[in-house]
Every structure is written in structure tokens, then in C-alpha cells.
Structure 1
Amino acid sequence: MFNAKTKKELKFKSVEEDLLILFSEMIKVSISKEVFISLEEKTNDTIDLILDLKTCELIVSNKNQNKFKNPNFVKILSAEVDEVIHRQNNKNSFVIDKLKLSNLINLQFSAIGKDEIINKIIIFLQSISNKEYGLRIKLGEVKVRDNFFCELSKNKILLEYFFNFFKKEVFEWSEKFANADSFQYQLIADFTNFILKDLLLTLSKEEVLGLISEVIKIKKKEPKQNFYYWYKLNNFIDNNLSEIVTEDWLLYQMEGLQFNWSSFLIDFIPENKSNEYLDSVNGFKNKLVKFLKKGIVFVSKENKLSTRSDVLYHKEKFSEFLNLLELLPENYKFFINLKDEFGLTPSFGKEEEESLKNLLLLKDFQQSNKIIFENLDDAISILEMKKKYFS
């Protein structure tokens, strides 16, 4: 939407400074649209020109202004009726001199209205990110939440500007920072995942994919990976960008990433029940297992297993766990966490019985497959003691 001259003038450092340029662009767009007229019968008085920042539309009004108190309504000009608007043949219809209107607005803005109007636009921009939850990042002087771009969807000028500002930030973060512990560094990547659908409002699919590629560079530097982040990203690509990527494009981009062992276990769904969400999750887990076998993704080196984990007493999950162990290299280590066995009322029931049986199987597996389970003997001893005294 921006022409070459406007693109060159925008700096994407200070929103306040860029709004001096953007305001003129919004006026051009709003005047090119239908101007909404909201006038009393009497028109020989002063009228107000109001810009609706949500829709980038102009409203001419001399009515009670209470209806225009929301932050998205900004009064940009007061003028005499005859200067810009004329009644036609004594009927309740009007003609607007759009050229004169545009000149008056720009003259008023240049002469005395800059600071006040820019401040009101900033207040509006902050107001649409006032919800109490969700991620928030800073673009210049404006802090925006993940609803921000959706709220601007009908104002193509502000939408394009802030998307370009956001793109600039993403590309700079992916190039500039190597510190994976930086909160801001991780935040901008997580924020992108929240607004992927909004990105399609103004960017081409190729541009969105390019942005995702930069975000992947950021996410891959994080020391711990979240399975569900990548699952959601894969869903978005499959549902929106599949025609411009090769099969399993994202999985190949994930080369070298490590995930917790549970990310590779298929969730059990009873045969007589359907679960669309778990089917989708399992589909991605199956892909992870496939790429684990290819040596593209890996199981994390630091893994814990609780004695009360359902993996130990659930038949199908334990079977999946054994299948995963077969794929792990020699001397791979699990730490069995015993803390859940203390501080609780001692009991030994069906689940504990199954867990004990499977811990004994793991002992045999450990000896034959050289997988190391720290605290395994202690875990077995504790459950055998519970069986003796509390079953």
C-alpha cells in the first residue's frame, strides 16, 4: 500500500515520528472512501471532522459528541459548514468538497494540531493492547499484545506499518542476539506464533514463511524446546502454507533439536472413542519419531521419570515407552524421581502393582540394552516394601 517515497521516509524506530507521515496517508485513504455525514437539521454552525482510527474512515458531525468519546475517534478539524459541505436544494443531502477538506486537514495538522493528534493516536494504539493476558512486545513507544494486529485489520495503513515494524524487529533479533537466555529474545518468537493468522491479513504467504524461518533461528537457540510450540507451528503451516512448502518442511528445519522423551510417546485413544485433538497431536508425534529414527531430532539428554508416572502403570503407554527406549543410544540415562513416594499416605493398589512389575522389566531392559536408570533399585525396593506392608 505504501509507495516508494513513503517507505523510504518511514524509519521504524519511533512510532511518534512515523505517525507524522502515517497521518497524511490515513487522510488520503479516508477521503478516498465514503465520508459519513452525521448532521442535525440545522447546518449553519461549526462541524467536526472525526477520524475513526479502527476503520480509517472520516465522519462529519455537529451532533452531541458523546458517541465519539472512544479512543478510536480522533477529532482532527473544526470548520464552518460552508467551507467543506453544502446542502443540496434545501434537502437533507449534502455535497463534500473533498479536495478542500483534505487541504484544510493537512493545513490544520501542519500548523497547530500535530502533537495533540499524534498523542491521541498513541493513546488509541495503547488502548487496543489493554487486555490483562497474553504476550506483549514493544514496537517503538508502543507496547502491543497479541490481539493488536487483529484490532487494526480494517485500518490498512496502521496495519501495514506495524507489520513491517514487527518484521524488522524479528529479522534484527534473529541476526543480532546469540544469548538464548534473553527473555526478550524468546518472547518475540513466541509472540509470532500467537499472531500467525493475523500475519496473513497483510503479508503474502511467502513473506509469512520467510518470517517463520527467522523465528525458527531464534527458537532453535533456546536450551529447552516446547513440543506444543512446534506442534502448533506445524499445524499452521499444514493448514495455510502447504502449497508453498515441501512435505515435512518444518521437521527438516528442526534439525538438531532435542525434546523431552514424553514428546515421542503416542497418546492412547480408546477404540470406541474419537478425539480429533489427540489424533492431531499423535500425527505430529509420529513425525517426530520418524525424524528421530533419521537422526534429525533427538531425545533430551536430561530426562526424569516419576515412580507415579502413568507410563509405568498404563499398558499401552508403557509399551510405547519400551519402543522409544529401543531407539536410544547406549548409556542413555534416565533419572527416576523418588520424591513422590514420600510425604503421602502409604498405599499399594492396582497402579502400584503394575508399576512395580514394569520397573522390574526395566531392570532387565537396562542390563540387555545398556540404558541407565538411576535410582531404579531404590524405586523397586520402595514399592516392594509398600506391597509388603500396605497392600
Structure 2
Amino acid sequence: MSAPTSTVSEAVTAALATVDDPEIRRPITELGMVRAATVDPDGRVRVELLLTVAGCPLKDKLRTDITAAVTAVAGVTGVEIEFGVMSQQQRQSLQSQLRGGNAGAEPVIPFAQPGSRTRVYAVASGKGGVGKSSVTVNLAAALAARGLAVGVIDADIYGHSVPRMLGVDARPTRVEEMIMPPQAHGVKVISIGMFTAGNAAVVWRGPMLHRALQQFLADVYWGDLDVLLLDLPPGTGDVAISLAQLLPNAEILVVTTPQAAAAEVAERAGAIALQTHQRLVGVVENMSWLELPTGERMEIFGTGGGATVAESLTRTIGAQVPLLGQIPLDTRVRETGDSGQPIVLAEPAAPAAKALGAVADRLAVRRESLLGKPLGLRPAGR
């Protein structure tokens, strides 16, 4: 005897509620994407699903996830999915829902709001070539692997490289005035490289750089992130100044190599925090040594640069700036970056991966600041 159709229908509705939109990461039923779901007397289920945009790149994943969820319901003999597209009014309603009911409101930067629980780390360096992007990408992947919701903004507008290093080749999806960022390895990513043709150069002055960063922060739908990492361009130019204006609560993570010349420049990049009143979370020394097959360490770029930067910034800022870790030089960091598989995931036992993972652990457990948060205190009565 087959189960009553009404019972199967209720179970199918419950099953559909377990399927998340791959981009927004919320149930498709909650987002108004399920137009109808009917069950025939023979147990065959027909689902009408509305995509946010025509030609949705994740249509196949939605088909797979819905089929798996509904097929698991007792009494279901088959699943048919018919795809449609949301109307402009439905997309506007979805945008309003995602923005908390403020459909026509000017987009705000959620990470700059007093109640934001997202930890924002701006990864900076004094000069190029120190592996700042590699550190950013691997920290993001390591934090995501620890169960945190992580986003990365490739703020190095001129030298964007994060999409390749994370293996992201998809384009962002636009829902009205909102941008849905692609994901890889559990990390949401946005980069100017996703909006340019091929490998075209970006030739912009300060105001356009500021606007691009502002759009990445306000127009992209990030959801509820635990950590947001920004891969900054080298030096202390326009983007670093814009970041201080848009995200004054961002914390600076300085990357350097052991080389004295690199360390001197890295100190300048870190010292900008004294002018912007941002917190320096620490220093990462990259390419610290090369481990030889004999077990010996070859210090190709010298020694002590990371510790020197940390000590100098501690004196300059007047607060402790720790050396968070030393990352050994390993060709696999480059190889995995080129293939879009960060070393912390592809070769977790490698010394460089372990060192990066240890830095991620220190960033993941940092105590939250009470700045701007209500403490629930009341003045005592007289």
C-alpha cells in the first residue's frame, strides 16, 4: 500500500527545504525559488524551480541536489524538474529579502556596522614578490576547512591573482543590483579579474580604485561570514587608504620575507596602522628557509626579517605585534597555487602547509573586540 499523497507532498516540501542555493547558501524554499511541487498518484514528483537569472551556471548542481533530496523521500518513484526564471519583481523581492527588507536603500558595508561579528583581516606587504597572495589564499582555505564561513576580496586590482590560486573560473552572478560571488574550497571570492576580458590590464586612478573596493564590500552578497580576508596591493597607496576609510575596524596582517630589504619596506606598510588607527594583528614571515633532503635548512633570503618587523612595529605602535609564523620555502606552494589547489588542502602534511595552518589557528581563535558592541550595562541607581 502506497503512502497517502498528502503525506508524501509534505515530506517532499520538507526535503526541498534542505536544499540550499549554491550561491546564496540559503534554502531554495526560503528564497521563493520553488514555484510548485506536485506529487502524482504513482509517486512521481514534478518540481517547478525559478532560477535567479537565465543561464544560471549552477543549474546542474541544483538539479542534482534536488533530485537527491526528493528521491530519498519514501513513496517517491521519480523526479522531474522544470526550470524557469524569476521575473524582475521576484528578483527585486529577493534582493529586498537578502538586504533585510531595504529594497531601495543605498547598499551598506555590513562589515563596517557596529554589530558585525565578521573578523576582517587585510593582508599587506611593503613590496611585491613576498608571497602575500599565496599566504592569503592558503589562510582562507585553511580557515574554511576548519568550518568557518570565509570570504576573500582580491583588492590587488592591478595584480589580481587570487582566482587562479583558488581555482575559481566562474563569473559572478548578478541579481538586480546584488552580485553573488563564486566559491571554491568553501571560500567566497570576488576579484576585478572576474569582470575583465581575458588577461586585460586594469588602468585606473585612485577614485576608481576606491569605488571598486566599495562595490566589492557593499554590492556583493557575502552572507554571514566569520572571516573576510583582503589581499591588498603592495605598499601604502590608494587601496590601503580607501580600506581605512571603508573598514576602519579591519586588522592588518603584514607579510614579509627574512631579507633585510624586504623587512624594511614591510615596516612601512605596517606603520600605516599608526595613521589609520587600525590594529596590527601580526607578522607572517614567508620563504623563511629551504629544507634540504639532508634535513638541513638553507636560509636563501637570510634570517630574522619577520622578527625584526614585529619588534619594530611593536615599538612604533606601542602595542604587541606578534610574529605569527614562519613559512618555509617550498616549490609545492607555487605548484598548488598554479593549479588552484592551495597547499593546505593538497599537501596538508607539508611543512609549509602545517606552518600556514598554525597561523590560521591563531587567527581563528582571536578574541572578539567589544568596540561598538552593546554591553547590556546600566548605571547603578543612586
Q: Normalized against structure 2, the TM-score is what?
A: 0.32
Q: Larger % of strand: which?
A: 2
- Which of the pair has the greater relative contact order for Cα pairs under 8 Å at 6+ separation? 2
Structure with greater Cα Rg: 1
Q: Normalized against structure 1, the TM-score is what?
A: 0.32
